[in-house]
């Protein structure tokens, strides 16, 4: 059985409401609807009887208070009958607070044009901030490389282990599979023309020049770039970065440069591993599908693939590493003082660094081709 | 008076570190109860055990008549609606504005219309001493003290019968802290709230608490009113309350 009820009764120009039992925020919406249906045009007096009310919470008190104030605007006089001190106290508290406060403001609806403008402006300022970051990075680097004593070998070694050596396994596996897949797909086509042996030329060129550097960069961006953003972002939220600054430890020196240098050193090594693994994937498929023995494969490889193709791939490494590490760290520094912003910036860091790596790769491609390398 | 919380012989062990060694205490309806003790004695841990955030190794805790060791999911959900918890750092949801933070339980659990929810939010914001114009700000845009007030408003959103406060006045300026104390007293007398709080604020302890439990060295060294405490022998009580008792 419900332990609450509302009795509505009329007499001439007087409306009486009698509340019984316990009223709380779970039940009042039903009674609100009942009262909204009442036609108040002929009513001059409202009589609210709270004597049988056992308990009311603040939500109910707010409702009664609102009812009284809306009705008084229509010149309807209200009278409350109640002898319970707590209930009167709650009503009084609510009345005081509502009178004291102003209505809640509402968020302005943004127009389409406004959002476009806002987005464009934030992208523009984001770009400027990134430029400022790069500028500060180079300024610190110049200052830092003045003496060999300044180089923080320990941190660099630690970061190389964390963000590169520990990534060897996943890079090796991914590259091996990519080599396998590319070889497998082309083996079928080459067989049709009887050009089996050309698989060596094809794999050698594509893997050494393009595939290995790109795969390595993408894995590192997803694995280590995002870790940089999350680590530095969390340090920013817990005010660790501010603590470092006040103690005179420049975060650029202690956190930023070691990460960038470590990744720039390690990246060519990772690309080399990736090269070997992808080619071994190719050798496996050539043996199984095209009956090319590993000896034959390697002999052909030695004859047709110049060393320059290998170096073109390796040279890209430090550039990619610089882009990934600096974007990852920059995004980490952009984290604001809330948890959402870590997720947002980590996503951005991965997307932006992969995009930057691909753009950089395209530039290299055009440059090398025009230079005849 | 009825007990709303009974803690019986609770033992808590983290890995191989014993935090609580047989805690027993009871909290009565309508009282403001303090958990005191030196840092690291497990006050917050006990509070978290009461609100079912932290498991304990053995013993029993009963909240509002439900034994939380054997509680069903459905009853537990109902129980969670009938209390409000204020965390040390506020723990406001950072993706929502202050007003949305307070309105969230109202929107999820009641069928009130938007206008009514707005009015309730306005009242809660005003009662904890914030201004309506702050309602649209996000937690990252406000100070620590404001976060605390907003978090209290959220804890009060559903008019709970039972309120858990973890260091409510830390990080507040003295004026706000005293206002906070008088607000707690007022809410208790008007709405029949029962309050369990962890506090280090001596002024607040003397002004608001009816009874206290002092946890020291894994055990409860004292439970009872503040007046009777001076007869008790404990290193913590002597150092913590010395200035007042002298």
β-pair partners for A46: A15, A78
Q: Which letter does DSSP use for residue B74 in this model?
A: H
State pLDDT tens for residues B52-68. Answer: 888 888 899 999 888 98
State pLDDT tens for residues A46-101. Answer: 888 888 888 888 888 888 888 888 888 888 888 888 888 888 888 888 888 888 88
Taking residue A189's Cβ as centre, other Cβ atoms within 10 Å add up to 11
Chain B residues whose CB is inside 8 A of the A101 CB are 122-123, 125-126, 131-132
State pLDDT tens for residues A252-311. Answer: 888 888 899 999 999 999 999 999 999 999 999 999 999 899 999 999 999 999 999 999
Q: Is the pLDDT of residue A229 over 80?
A: yes
- pLDDT attached to residue B244: 52
Tokens of A311: 């170096």
| Tokens 């070694």, residue located | A157
Q: Tell me whether B158 touches chain A (CB under 8 Å).
A: yes
- The angle, 0 to 180 degrees and rounded to 10, between the axes of the packed helices A257-290 and A294-304 is 120
Q: Average pLDDT in the B197-201 region?
A: 88
Which residues fall within 8 angstroms of residue A117, CB to CB, at 6 or more apart? Answer: none
Of A86, A336, A338, the CB nearest to B190: A86
Q: Is the pLDDT of residue B1 over 80?
A: no
Rounded Cα gap, residues A341 and B234, in angstroms: 47
Determine the distance in angstroms separating the CA of B132 from the nearest CA of chain A, rounded to an integer: 5
pLDDT band at A225 (very low <50, low <70, confident <90, very high): very high
- pLDDT attached to residue A348: 93
CB contact under 8 A, B110 and A102: no
Q: Domains (ranges, CATH) in chain A?
A: 4-100 (3.30.750.24), 121-371 (no CATH)
Q: Tell me whether B111 touches chain A (CB under 8 Å).
A: yes
State pLDDT tens for residues A189-212. Answer: 888 998 888 999 999 999 999 999
Q: Which letter does DSSP use for residue A221 in this model?
A: I
Of B94, B125, B158, the CB nearest to A338: B94
CB contact under 8 A, A28 and B112: yes
Let me know: does B84 contact B93? Beta carbons within 8 Å: no
Q: Average pLDDT in the A313-318 region?
A: 94
β-pair partners for B194: B162
- pLDDT attached to residue A269: 94
The pTM (predicted TM-score) of the whole model is: 0.75
Q: Is the pLDDT of residue A176 over 80?
A: yes
Q: Are strands B3-14 and B58-63 parallel, antiparallel or unpaired?
A: antiparallel
pLDDT band at A145 (very low <50, low <70, confident <90, very high): confident
Q: Which of residues 185-204 of B touch A (CB under 8 A)?
A: 186, 189-192
CB contact under 8 A, B132 and A336: no
CB contact under 8 A, A59 and B120: yes
């Amino acid at each position: 059985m419900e332990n609450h009820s509302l009795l509505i009764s009329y007499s001439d120009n007087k409306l009486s409401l009698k509340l019984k039992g316990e009223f709380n925020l779970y039940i009042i919406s039903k009674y609100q609807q009942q009262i909204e249906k009442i036609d108040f045009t002929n009513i001059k007096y409202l009589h609210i009887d709270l004597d049988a009310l056992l308990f009311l919470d603040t939500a109910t008190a707010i409702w009664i208070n609102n009812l009284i104030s809306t009705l008084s605007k229509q010149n309807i006089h209200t009278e409350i009958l109640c002898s319970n001190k707590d209930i009167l106290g709650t009503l009084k508290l609510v009345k005081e607070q509502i009178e004291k406060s102003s209505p809640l403001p509402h968020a302005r609806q943004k127009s389409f044009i406004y959002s476009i403008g806002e987005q464009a402006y934030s992208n523009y300022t984001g770009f400027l901030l990134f430029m400022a970051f790069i500028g500060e990075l180079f300024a610190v680097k110049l200052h830092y490389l003045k003496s060999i004593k300044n180089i923080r070998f320990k941190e660099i070694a630690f970061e190389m282990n964390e963000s590169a050596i520990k990534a060897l396994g996943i890079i090796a596996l991914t590259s091996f599979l990519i080599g396998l897949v590319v070889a497998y797909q082309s083996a079928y086509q080459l067989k049709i023309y009887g050009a089996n042996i050309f698989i060596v030329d094809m794999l050698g060129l594509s893997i050494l020049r393009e595939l290995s550097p790109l795969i390595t960069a993408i894995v590192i961006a997803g694995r280590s770039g995002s870790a940089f953003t999350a680590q530095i972002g969390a340090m920013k939220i817990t005010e660790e970065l501010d603590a470092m600054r006040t103690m005179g430890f420049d975060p650029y020196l202690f956190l930023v440069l070691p990460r960038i240098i470590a990744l720039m050193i390690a990246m060519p090594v990772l690309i080399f591993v990736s090269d070997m693994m992808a080619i071994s994937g190719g050798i496996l498929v050539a043996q199984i599908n095209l009956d090319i023995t590993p000896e034959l494969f390697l002999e052909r490889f030695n004859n047709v693939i110049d060393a320059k193709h290998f170096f073109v791939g390796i040279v890209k490494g430090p550039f990619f590493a610089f882009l990934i590490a600096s974007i990852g760290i920059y995004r980490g520094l952009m984290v604001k003082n809330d948890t959402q912003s870590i997720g947002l910036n980590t996503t951005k860091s991965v997307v932006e660094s992969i995009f930057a790596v691909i753009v950089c790769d395209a530039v290299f491609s055009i440059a090398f081709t025009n230079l005849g390398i | 008076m009825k007990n709303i919380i009974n803690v019986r012989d609770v033992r808590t062990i983290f890995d191989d570190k014993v935090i609580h060694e047989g805690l027993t205490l009871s909290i009565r309806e309508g009282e403001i109860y303090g958990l005191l003790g030196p840092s690291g004695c497990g006050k917050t841990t006990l509070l978290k055990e009461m609100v079912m955030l932290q498991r304990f190794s053995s013993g029993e805790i009963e909240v509002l008549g439900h034994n939380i060791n054997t509680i069903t999911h459905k009853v537990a959900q109902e129980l969670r609606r009938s209390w409000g918890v204020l965390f040390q750092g506020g723990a406001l949801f950072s993706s929502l504005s202050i007003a949305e933070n307070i309105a969230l339980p109202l929107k999820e659990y009641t069928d009130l219309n938007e206008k009514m929810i707005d009015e309730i939010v306005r009242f809660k914001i005003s009662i904890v001493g914030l201004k309506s114009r702050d309602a649209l700000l996000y937690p990252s845009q406000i100070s620590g003290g404001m976060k605390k007030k907003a978090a209290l408003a959220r804890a009060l959103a559903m008019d709970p019968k039972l309120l858990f406060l973890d260091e409510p006045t830390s990080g507040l300026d003295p004026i706000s802290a005293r206002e906070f104390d008088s607000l707690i007293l007022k809410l208790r007398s008007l709405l029949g709230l029962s309050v369990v709080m962890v506090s280090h604020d001596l002024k607040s302890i003397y002004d608001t608490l009816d009874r206290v439990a002092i946890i020291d060295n894994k055990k409860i060294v004292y439970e009872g009113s503040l007046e009777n405490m001076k007869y008790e022998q404990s290193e913590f009580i002597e150092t913590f309350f010395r200035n007042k008792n002298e």
